[in-house]
């Protein structure tokens, strides 16, 4: 069990529900006419529905996250607030993170939020590049998938604003995975950190779209299926020293 916000919600929901249930089953019948329950019971009755609704929403439907770094530029910028679909990859029990209902599997190109394998209490966001069984080679900014070079096209030069200004001048490419295309940025002056290997069963290989400024599976390995939190699908706000209304409502791909 990972002690995070979901775990806290489970404990609060259980505690408030237990107080309410015990009062209804034992103490309510002992109170005289017009006698009010204790303040603790009133709080439990008031907050249990709130805790329960938030727990259901965050555990099984949607969860918000904020992007703290530039590893997913140009797709995601520092200060983007995103929504994550929690049910695309199956229904999991909150806190325990045990999958109880199979729904679907991650696909190449999906932007996923997951628990960082080296510190499961920390959520990371990257793009799935390899699924179980894939043979991957990444060398000199060229991705090869199952012995087939992944096509790229030059989209010009990346010009960043605000926190992304430091990445201005990078080459902006479109990378065409079999399932979908997406944009990446690379620094042609750098060789790029390479990697070669096969994705094992129940694991995923992830990379950041900012290929030369992302610590991802090339550095620390694969993401186990049980570490997946959900698929990022929309930007609902951006705040990087101020709002950027142009990014609100942007659907991710």
* Full 3-state SS string of 32-74: CCCCCCCHHHHHHHHHHHHHHHHHHHHHHHEEEEECCCCCCCC
Q: Is the pLDDT of residue 1 over 70?
A: no
CATH number, domain of 171, equals 2.10.109.10
- Residue whose tokens read 């960043």: 160
| Model pLDDT, residue 3 | 63
| Model pLDDT, residue 146 | 98
Collapsed DSSP state (helix, strand, coil) of residue 218 = helix
Specify whether 213 is located in the same domain as 163: yes
Percent of the chain residues past pLDDT 70, beyond the cut? 98
Nearest to 72 by CA among 209, 205, 215: 209
Signed CA dihedral, 203, 209, 211, 215: sign only:
negative
pLDDT in tens, 201-238: 999 999 999 999 999 999 999 999 999 999 999 999 99
The model's pTM: 0.86
Q: Which residues are catalytic, by number?
A: 71, 126
Specify whether 31 is located in the same domain as 145: no
Specify whether 230 is located in the same domain as 160: yes
User: How far is it, in rounded angstroms, from Cα 93 to Cα 242?
Assistant: 37
User: How far is it, in rounded angstroms, from Cα 151 to Cα 149?
Assistant: 6
Collapsed DSSP state (helix, strand, coil) of residue 19 = helix
Tokens at 39, concatenated: 């303040």
38: left (phi over 0), alpha (psi -120 to 50) or beta: beta
CA distances from 152 to 11, 209, 210 (A): 48, 13, 15
State the Cα angle at 54 between 118 and 237, rounded to 5°: 70
Structural domain total, the chain: 2
User: How far is it, in rounded angstroms, from Cα 150 to Cα 174?
Assistant: 10
- The rounded Cα 90 to chain-centroid distance in angstroms is 14
pLDDT, average across residues 64-72? 95
Last residue of a domain, one of 42, 61, 80: 61
Last residue of a domain, one of 15, 38, 61: 61
């Amino acid at each position: 069990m990972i002690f995070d916000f979901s775990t806290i919600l489970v404990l609060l929901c259980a505690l408030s529900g237990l107080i309410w249930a015990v009062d209804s089953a034992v103490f309510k019948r002992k109170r005289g006419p017009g006698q009010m329950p204790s303040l603790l019971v009133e709080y439990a009755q008031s907050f249990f529905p709130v805790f329960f609704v938030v727990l259901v929403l965050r555990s099984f439907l949607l969860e918000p996250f904020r992007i703290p770094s530039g590893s997913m530029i140009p797709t995601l910028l520092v200060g983007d607030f995103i929504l994550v679909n929690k049910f695309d990859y199956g229904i999991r029990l909150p806190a325990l993170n045990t999958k109880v209902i199979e729904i679907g599997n991650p696909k190449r190109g999906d932007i996923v939020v997951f628990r960082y394998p080296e510190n499961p209490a920390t959520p990371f966001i990257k793009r799935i590049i390899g699924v179980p069984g894939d043979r991957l080679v990444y060398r000199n900014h060229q991705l090869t998938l199952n012995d087939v070079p992944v096509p790229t096209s030059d989209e010009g030069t990346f010009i960043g604003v605000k926190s992304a200004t430091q990445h201005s001048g990078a080459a902006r490419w479109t990378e065409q995975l079999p399932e979908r295309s997406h944009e990446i940025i690379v620094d042609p002056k750098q060789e790029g950190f390479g990697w070669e290997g096969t994705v094992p069963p129940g694991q995923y290989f992830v990379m950041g779209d900012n290929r030369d400024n992302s610590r991802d599976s090339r550095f620390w390995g694969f993401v186990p299926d049980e570490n997946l939190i959900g698929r990022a699908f929309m930007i609902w706000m951006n705040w990087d020293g101020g709002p950027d209304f142009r990014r609100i409502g942007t659907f991710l791909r």
